[in-house]
Amino acid sequence: MLSEQENELLTRVSKGTPMGDLLRNFWIPCLFGWEVASDGSPERVRLLGENLLAFRDSDGNVGLIAENCPHRRASLYFGRNEEGGLRCIYHGWKFDTTGQCIDMPSEPPESNFKDRIRLPSYPCVEAGGVIWTYMGPATEPPPMPALEWLPLPADQVIASKRVQYSNWVQAMEGDIDQSHVSFVHSRLHLDEPGPILDRPSTLVDQIRKADTHPRFEVLETDYGVLIGAGRDAPEGMKYWRITQHMMPFHTITGPYGENPMRNWRAWVPIDDTNVVVIGVNFHPLRPLTDEERDRYANRSSVWNISPEMRAPRTSAPFGAWRPVPSVENDFFQDREQQRTKTYSGISEFWAQDAAPQLTMGQICERSEEHLGTSDLAIITVRKRLLREAIELVEQGELPSELRNPDAYSVRADAILIPSGESWIEATEPRRRVYADLNPTCP
């Protein structure tokens, strides 16, 4: 468990809080590039408790600026995006992508007042089809993390997002907790196709059903925490699923099988009580097939809402990525399905996690938790986050991983090995991104 003070430190992300200041030192993914068009409508964005606007100017440059005009505080969302800037409709003040006022038609022509007006703004880069922003204090932002999928061609990647109405930490913790998959994501009868993932029973399903208490081992790394969850398998073997937590909010979970699809997600705090998870499926060596692309686009997953379960788009921040299932409608739980087909009775895969997570409260009261051995990964990641936030406050020490972007060039894994073998040694070469096997690594 955490003390109330530790829990506050872990979960609060506004400017001036230890965790908020820590997160601002990392590049933050927020939008897909296609969501903002040159001279098109601006997009409301809320990150770390700040209300912002993203827009793309006439030259294709992306800006992320404070939403409210510094003149009379009207929202620039209604502004005209034209001729190299975003113009407030109230009095015509115009701002470029850096937040600098470049035109002030309500003032006399001889006035230089506009030269002294600048909106708060954050630099942006586009990589992997995603817009990333740096909200920290450094004049020179750190290098981008060398995530495996970022340099891939667009035909090898499919991405989506969803909003969850909880604190970012309790949402992310579901991704590093391998014990829950034996329960909330499971089917009652493995010989039947599953309505959740629409696939037949597999060896991994059988192992998870037979051994519901994986043994966790963790190793702190220069980028975050390496997590192994081991389960007993037939014939003296052991199944290990390896998860990577990469500071501060990146996770990848191990795929099983030869030459598998891979994944990545980022659990980005909107504010203290809301999070947007941005996720990617990708294959590092080949384009996705039409069948794969259709399946990943239309199937519920950790980060993807089924099309029929998405709420109508609004202009709110991340308003195209909000779900209909909620606590108020019990996530459309089907009790008959729960009795006869699935452990949870909830059809949307992401909602199987979100339902218990949201019932913890928007910010879980961790001082009342009772953690067990299966919570080792969660405990270790919390300690890592708290330690780095405290070191930044007390010593002004930036996280070392910011100086080594190549440390993020790692993979997760899932493997069957003899029980006595070390999973760390067995998966060490499989957790690397090799230049000769993967063209994304120079």
Span 42-52, mean pLDDT? 98
pLDDT tens, 12-35?
999 999 999 999 999 999 999 999
Token pair for 238:
């052991």
Q: Are 424 and 161 in contact (CB under 8 A)?
A: no
What does the pLDDT read at residue 190? Answer: 83
What does the pLDDT read at residue 258? Answer: 86
Return d(Cα 391, Cα 276) in angstroms, integer. 27
User: Whats the size of the chain, residue-wise?
Assistant: 442
Token pair for 109:
């022509």
State yes or no: pLDDT of 268 exceeds 50.
yes
State yes or no: pLDDT of 437 exceeds 70.
no
Q: Are 56 and 40 in contact (CB under 8 A)?
A: yes
What does the pLDDT read at residue 62? Answer: 98
What does the pLDDT read at residue 60? Answer: 98
What does the pLDDT read at residue 434? Answer: 72
Return d(Cα 363, Cα 6) in angstroms, integer. 13
Beta carbons within 10 angstroms of residue 297's beta carbon: 14
pTM higher than the cut 0.75: yes
| Confidence band for 216, pLDDT divided at 50, 70 and 90 | very high
Q: Do domains 27-134 and 154-431 have the same CATH topology?
A: no
Please name the fold of domain 154-431: Naphthalene 1,2-dioxygenase Alpha Subunit; Chain A, domain 1 (3.90.380)
pLDDT tens, 152-208?
999 999 999 999 999 999 999 999 999 999 999 999 988 755 443 334 358 898 999
Q: Which helix (H) or strand (E) holds 296?
A: helix 290-298
Return d(Cα 120, Cα 47) in angstroms, integer. 13
What does the pLDDT read at residue 439? Answer: 45
What does the pLDDT read at residue 435? Answer: 57
State yes or no: pLDDT of 394 exceeds 50.
yes
pLDDT tens, 341-384?
999 999 999 999 999 999 999 999 999 999 999 999 999 999 99
What does the pLDDT read at residue 200? Answer: 39
Span 144-149, mean pLDDT? 97
**What is the three-class DSSP state of 5?**
helix
Residue closest to 353 by CA, chosen among 225, 192, 183, 214: 183
What does the pLDDT read at residue 192? Answer: 56
* Percentage of the chain lying above the pLDDT 70 cut: 96
| Confidence band for 307, pLDDT divided at 50, 70 and 90 | very high
> Any idea which residue has 């809402």 for tokens?
305
For every residue of 232-289, DSSP letters joined together read EETTTEEEEEEEEEETTTEEE----SSS--EEEEEEEEEETTEEEEEEEEE-SSSPPP
For the 27-134 domain, the top CATH level (class) is mainly beta
State yes or no: pLDDT of 441 exceeds 70.
no
pLDDT tens, 111-142?
999 999 999 999 999 999 999 999 999 999 99
What is the residue extent of each domain of the chain?
27-134, 154-431
Span 330-334, mean pLDDT? 98
